[in-house]
Amino acid sequence: MKRLGLIFYLIFCAIVAWAQPPGRNAAELEVKLTLADSSQRLDLLIQLANSFGTIDTERALQYALESIEIAQVRSDTIAWTRGLLALGNIFQKNISEYDSALAYYFQATQLIELHKPVEYFIIQNAIAETYQLVGEYAQALEILVNTELALEKEGYKTALAQTQLQLGELYTQLGQFDLSESKFQNALTTFQRNNDPQKQGDTWLAWAQTHQANADWLMADSAYQLAVAAYLQGPYLQGLGQAHLGIGQVATQNRKIEDARQAWQIAIEHFGEIEDKAGLAQVYLQLGGLGMAEKDYERAYRNFQTSLNHALAVNDRRMVKNGYESLYNLSLAAGDLEAAEEYKELFVAIGEFVFIEENQREIAKLQARYDLEKKELELTNLLQERELQELQLKQRNSERNQLLMLAIVLLLLAGAGFYFFVRIRKSNRALTSTNDQIHTQNAQLEELNNTKDKFFSIIAHDVKGPLSSLRSFANLLIKYTDSLSKEEIQNLATDLDNSLKNLFSLLENLLTWARSQTGSLEFNPTSWQLNKVIEETTEVLQPTAEKKNIKLSVNVPSNSEVLADRNMITTVIRNLISNAIKFTESSGEVQVLVESYVDAFEIAVIDNGVGMPPEIKQKLFKVGEKVTQKGTANEKGTGLGLILCKEFVERNKGTIWVESEPGKGSTFRFTLPVSTTS
């Protein structure tokens, strides 16, 4: 019923959106500039700087700088501030020089900080957006929440709606979908009242992306269509391109391939008209994936290559990485192994940088989520403490009234006295219950803080080690390149490669763990043969075992169909076998055995390695404990692998445990449910 009501609301908003008047474009503003007198010129220059911001960076900079010069001569503080804001937006959105953007924003803030006109809060939003782009989610959230409160107090409704739109987008990134929808609703109401179709389109677009992130394809498609209806009134080409890009993505999820292709072709026309290379890179990447799925490898190659060229033109490293990865997968599918190897090298080279950047963003997002949950819990405690105080006040008033009435009508109100006695007892029970809740939630808050502090201290320590090693190796190569022999340089390069691999493993496990904690890791249980996954994993790890002269054997029933998420269980098996090889001496043996029961399979990874004492066994699967040991060949561990194993096994309705004694090796066992189709 709630979904039906929301759909009717979307249709109503679409009717309202079509009634809005169209906006002005940059060309019209340039014509007006040629006819404008000196009093109108300054305002038009600022409008042109903003209009050309997404079309022509050089002209946008020219107009912004000219507006600042005129404003300085006239001592027009507000116009000067707006010019600096436009200049900061150009550096943020077009050139991606975030430090320069922040510098212009802070300079603009200093000009009007004393009086705080509406432009001050617009600049605060721009600063928050910049922090959000560089992954500083906690700072962005703090600025936006404070700005929203200040704008509500000052009554600046349009600026408040823009802030609520940004808050909704940030909450979506943090996985707080209920909060984001509430902010979008409030922002949309204001933009409709202001007859602002572009902002309405921006809100519908963000709302659609929230539904898409939540896998609600019906609502996502409806919101994208409403975004198109709003953007067409401009027309606002960049918004139209993004909306049709999203419509195509939703269509592929609904297996409407031709609808997706048609939507993406429209997106290409819009992005191409304004030369939005970043948008074009996204669309051609989607079209390449479509061609690859249809095994039209020639068309897929053209689209992937076009996407890569556009991504390189705007220096979008994430899209460049996606382009190389797609070309690598395409070459493998087409059987061109030589080309696949070349693309793999390019993909790996840029992938490490992108992977580290994305992990840093995920860590910042996790920190912001922790802070948000902490603030919400603190607010709940404050509200409950206020409720407790009100109850105490009511109790005191009740007791005073009782004494007064008993003194006046003691004989006549004997029955009333009993009634008040019962009421007092009920109030006491309510007080006791509220106190118990407060104590329980305070304990939960303290446990949350302790776990978070321990976890981040582990991450800080484990990341610092490999980074220090990388810095030391790099300094040695820089200072002593001429005096080092070829063999010494090769040794340093080997050590440098090992440190990079260890850091990459740590960040990979950390990202997977963070995604599982925030609910953004997809869980897709299906029926599949366990023996095939074990054989594939042991085949990948066989070279590692052979380097240590370790025998790696597998004994799995041919019919071992389980019901579980294949990717998660592959991660578990790979971690357990890797650990077994790591902690087994040369010439040792690692076995993988599977036992079949009525409703479950039990998987055992057995080694005859160094084993472990009971005090280490107790800490293995706990987030707040740091348990890392060097392997028998001084291999380093991340300390997160077994935590991921426990998370993934339990999520697939299984159990994991360890049996080990020092010097006698270790056996890690876990269970998985039998597939009902087997």
pLDDT tens column, 451-481: 555 556 555 545 555 565 566 667 766 777 7
Q: Exposed (0-12), middle (13-18) or buried (19+): which is 274, by Cβ within 10 Å?
A: middle
Nearest-angstrom CA–CA distance, 490 and 484: 10
Count CA within 13 A, CB hemisphere, residue 89.
Answer: 25
Per-residue tokens: 663: 């010097």
Please state, in angstroms and rounded to a whole number, the distance separating the CA atoms of residues 176 and 78: 36
- How many CB atoms lie under 10 A from the CB of residue 143? 21
Q: What is residue 377's predicted lDDT score, i.e. its pLDDT? A: 60
In angstroms, the CA 432 to CA 406 distance is 27
Question: Which pair of structure tokens corresponds to residue 515?
Answer: 């995604």
Distance CA 9, CA 14 (A): 9
- Kindly list the distances between the CA atom of residue 147 and the CA atoms of 3, 141, 553, in Å, as whole numbers in the listed order: 32, 10, 62
CB atoms closer than 10 angstroms to residue 522? 10
The C-alpha atoms of residue 174 and residue 368 are separated, in whole angstroms, by: 8
Contact assessment for residue 677 and residue 602, using Cβ atoms and an 8 Å cutoff: no
β-pairing, 589-596 vs 656-661, is unpaired
Q: Is 255 helix (H, G, I), strand (E, B) or coil?
A: coil
> How far is residue 183's CA from residue 207's CA, in Å, rounded to a whole number?
10
Please list the residues that pair with 594 across neighbouring strands.
603
Q: What are the two backbone dihedrals, phi and then psi, of residue 566, each rounded to the nearest 5 degrees?
A: -60, -45
Cis peptide before 662 (omega within 30 of 0): no
599 is written with which tokens?
């409703």
* Residue appearing with tokens 């249809």: 294
Residue 149 to residues 114, 137, 161, 193, 555, Cα–Cα distance (Å): 18, 18, 12, 21, 63
Measured distance CA(239)–CA(205) in Å, rounded: 8
Q: Tens of pLDDT along 109-127?
A: 888 877 778 888 888 889 9
Edge-first strand listing for the sheet containing 656-661? 551-555, 589-596, 600-607, 665-673, 656-661
pLDDT reported for residue 34:
82
The bridge status of strand 589-596 relative to strand 561-565 is: unpaired
Please report the pLDDT score of residue 519 as a whole number: 59
pLDDT of residue 470: 66
For the chain, list residues with pLDDT below 50: 1-24, 364-365, 368, 372, 379, 461
pLDDT of residue 252: 92
**pLDDT reported for residue 387:** 65
CA 288 to CA 513: how far, in whole Å? 31
